[in-house]
Homo-oligomer: A and B are copies of this chain.
Amino acid sequence: MPNNHFKRGELYNVINGMGTIAVARRMQKNFRNAGLEITIEQWSVLFHLWREDKLSQQELCNRTFRDKPSITRLIDNLEKLHLVKRIPSPTDRRINLITLTEAAQNLQQITIDIANQTMAEALVGVDKSEIEIVKNVFQRVYNNLTQVSGE
Contact = CB atoms under 8 A, between A and B. Distances in A.
B27 A12 contact: yes
A23 B140 CA distance: 11
Task: Please give the count of copies of this chain that the complex contains.
Answer: 2
Contact of A142 (B7, B11, B19): B19
A contact patch SS:
helix
A21 to B, nearest CB: 5
A118 B19 contact: no
Interface string A80-108: 00000000000000000000000000000
Interface of A: 2, 5-9, 11-27, 40, 44, 47, 51, 64-66, 112, 115-116, 118-126, 130-131, 133-142, 144-146, 150
